[in-house]
Amino acid sequence: MPTIHITLLGRFEVMVDAVPVAASSWTRRHAAALVKVLALAPGRRLHREQVIDVVWPDDTIEEAVPKLHKAAHFARRAIDVSNAVVLRGDNVLLCPDSDTTVDVERFEDLARRALVNEDVVAARQAFSIYGGELLPHDRYEAWAEERREQLRLRYLDLLRLDGCWERVVELDSSDELAHLALMRRYAANGDRHAALRQFERMTRSLQRELGVSPGHEATALRDRLIAERDVVARPGDPLLGRNRELSIAERALFDSAAGQSRTLIVTGLPGIGKSSLLAAIRARAEELSFCVGHGSSAPVEGAWPYAPVVEALAGVSRHHPTLLDGLPDHHRVEINRALAGAESSWSGASSHQRLYVAAAELVRRASATRGLLLTIDDVHDADDASLRLLHYIARSAYDQRVCIVFTHRPAPMSDTLAQTRQSLLDRHRAVELELGPLGTDDVTTLIRHHVPEPTPEQVRHIAALSRGIPFAVNELARRAGKEPKRVQPLNANVIGAASCPRRTRLSNAWLSSARRSTPTSSSPCPGCPKPQHSTTWTPPLPR
């Protein structure tokens, strides 16, 4: 008795005694269709008239019966098993006398057990069987549509059971629970930018596919993440030690409002206050009635093409929805594709040029009646495609009411970032603002936000250890403020006591500052990860 295995998930294949039937053996389309239909039927059998209704729906019984016999003959010849397809009375059977398995049956059995018992192990076994959607080469056959959708939904249920939220979103971009789970995961890992960007993707998908907005739970999480800013200027609070930079930024906004675009490049060590300065510039721009969009690179998301720039443009479009409506159809298609996070990568092909032109047109329209400010944080983590798009927007907006401000760390710097900077500084009137450490008076003021009456010793310790880096000052002062009656030395152990995301940022700030001052004091703090660096080569920037 032969052993026969039939694969329907991801492809169609019949194996006899572990030997696959060659694709060339299926010389008749209806012979293969007959095998597929029977393999999906309960018990691999159907009444003759059911088979005819499915495979020859437009034929009468008299017309279809000879075709059924002919299809059965060619199916037996292809499989090379004499009783592979048998007509017994009014029934048609598939391999009734063979040891036969079908991957769909095995998948459904494992999936049912996994979901009933919430068994993750069984779910993962089912994953190994699910090779893809049901019969992808028969996508437009009506008899496969309903079963294909049932299996897809069952597969999504298994992914949810195992917490594979990225895959769920990939297969069903309108799944709000999956988006929310990813937001929570990013937030728990301390990457608020990734969480906010996931909210943006969810908003676009829900509006595009269902015409609805995110629910209360997702919106509340978004609002909480926006409120949780480290060392970010609050309305009414002065940004300590940055009067010169704020004055330059305000001048750039005024120039932009007058139709002379400006680009500012803000650099500085981790924790030096680059994000705080961006927040203050955005607040001032809003006071001047600018359209404002903000994006940030999130390394946890990998090289998602255009992500930070698209995030900034999405912010502008969200607050001014008529902008997209006013774009020509071919531009709107490119923008919506990018906003939806459609998979893409830099290749220099025409599709990327179309996105460049569409993004520039959106920027032009947004700045036509009032100024537009785009701020991009942490471009040292941006992919090359994002840097190239940013460069194109900056140079193409030379006579528009556009101000672009982006930040990055001094090192390491990829080749594309170095090229982008140099081109903008040399040829497109960009200005670099390098943020330095705070002075003693500003450090003391910042300490008083957490310790109202710090002792001179506390001030000296915090100033020495923080080296004037605002984030480090805040963290050390916060730690000191928790135990005001206890005299404790402020040293590396204070860093080790901070929460994980804060500890990482504090360690990076401390190490970066140490490298610039005293090399002997640059050993890692307890429990902090070592910094990782990478550089890549890319083709020259487009002009």
Q: Are residues 256 and 373 in the same domain?
A: yes
Beta bridge partners of 376: 295, 406
Least confident of 79-93, 324-338, 411-425: 324-338
Q: Are residues 335 and 395 in the same domain?
A: yes
Residue 486 in domain: yes
Query: Among 200, 205, 218, which Cα is nearest to 307's?
Result: 200
Residue 312 in domain: yes
Helix (H, G, I), strand (E, B) or coil at 383: coil
494 pLDDT tier (thresholds 50, 70, 90): very low
Q: Are residues 309 and 200 in the same domain?
A: no
Residue type at position 47: H
Cis peptide upstream of residue 452 (ω within 30 degrees of 0) = no
- Residues 16-28 have pLDDT tens digits of 999 999 999 999 9
- Residues 429-482 have pLDDT tens digits of 899 999 999 998 998 988 888 888 888 888 888 888 889 999 888 888 888 877
Tell me, what's the pLDDT at 369? 79
Angle formed at CA 513 by CA 512 and CA 515, multiple of 5 degrees: 65
Determine the average pLDDT of the residues in 488-509.
Answer: 49
Least confident of 87-91, 314-318, 530-534: 530-534
The token pair that represents 303 in the structure block: 């090289």
How far apart (Å, rounded) are the C-alpha atoms in residues 75 and 32? 7
Residue 234 in domain: no
483 pLDDT tier (thresholds 50, 70, 90): low
Tell me, what's the pLDDT at 190? 79
Q: Are residues 376 and 452 in the same domain?
A: no
Tell me, what's the pLDDT at 317? 81
Determine the average pLDDT of the residues in 238-260.
Answer: 88
For residue 386, give the CATH number of its domain: 3.40.50.300
Q: Are residues 425 and 293 in the same domain?
A: yes
Helices (H) and strands (E) in the chain, counts: 23, 12
Tell me, what's the pLDDT at 540? 36
How far apart (Å, rounded) are the C-alpha atoms in residues 435 and 408? 11
Among 183, 200, 228, the domain-final residue is 228
108 pLDDT tier (thresholds 50, 70, 90): very high
Residue 496 in domain: yes
Least confident of 231-240, 289-298, 303-312: 231-240
Cα–Cα distances (Å) from 306 to 103, 174, 384, 385, 407, in that order, read: 40, 21, 8, 6, 16
DSSP 80: T
Tell me, what's the pLDDT at 484? 53
Cα–Cα distances (Å) from 334 to 127, 340, 516, in that order, read: 34, 10, 44
Least confident of 135-149, 187-201, 312-326: 312-326
Residue 73 in domain: yes
Residue type at position 20: P
Q: Are residues 363 and 462 in the same domain?
A: no
Residue 197 in domain: yes
Contact in structure between 183 and 221 (CB atoms under 8 Å): yes
Task: List, edge to edge, every strand of the sheet that includes 19-20.
Answer: 19-20, 13-16, 3-7, 99-102
Q: Are residues 250 and 389 in the same domain?
A: yes
Report the percent of the chain where pLDDT is more than 90: 50
Residue 542 in domain: no
9 pLDDT tier (thresholds 50, 70, 90): very high
For 192-210, b/e burial (b = at least 16 CB within 10 A) is bbbbbbbbbbbbbbbeeee
Residue 483's domain comprises: 440-521
Name the average pLDDT for the chain. 83
Is 0.75 surpassed by the pTM of this model?
no
The token pair that represents 310 in the structure block: 């698209």
509 pLDDT tier (thresholds 50, 70, 90): low
Residue 263 in domain: yes
Among 434, 465, 500, the domain-final residue is 434
Sign of CA dihedral 104, 108, 111, 113: negative
Give the total number of structural domains in the chain. 4
Q: Who has greater pLDDT, 395 or 534?
A: 395
Q: Who has greater pLDDT, 326 or 151?
A: 151
Helix (H, G, I), strand (E, B) or coil at 432: strand
Among 121, 136, 162, the domain-final residue is 162
Q: Are residues 278 and 349 in the same domain?
A: yes
- Residues 274-283 have pLDDT tens digits of 999 999 999 9
Tell me, what's the pLDDT at 542? 34
Q: Are residues 317 and 429 in the same domain?
A: yes
Least confident of 53-57, 223-227, 459-463: 223-227
The burial of 463, by beta-carbon neighbours within 10 Å (0-12 exposed, 13-18 middle, 19 or more buried), is given as buried
The DSSP bridge pattern shows strands 85-88 and 91-94 to be antiparallel
Q: Are residues 31 and 148 in the same domain?
A: yes
Give me the long-range contacts of 133-137 (CB less than 8 A, separation at least 24): 133/9, 133/10, 134/8, 134/9, 134/104, 135/8, 135/12, 135/36, 136/10, 136/11, 137/11, 137/12
The DSSP bridge pattern shows strands 262-267 and 402-408 to be parallel
Q: Are residues 140 and 108 in the same domain?
A: yes
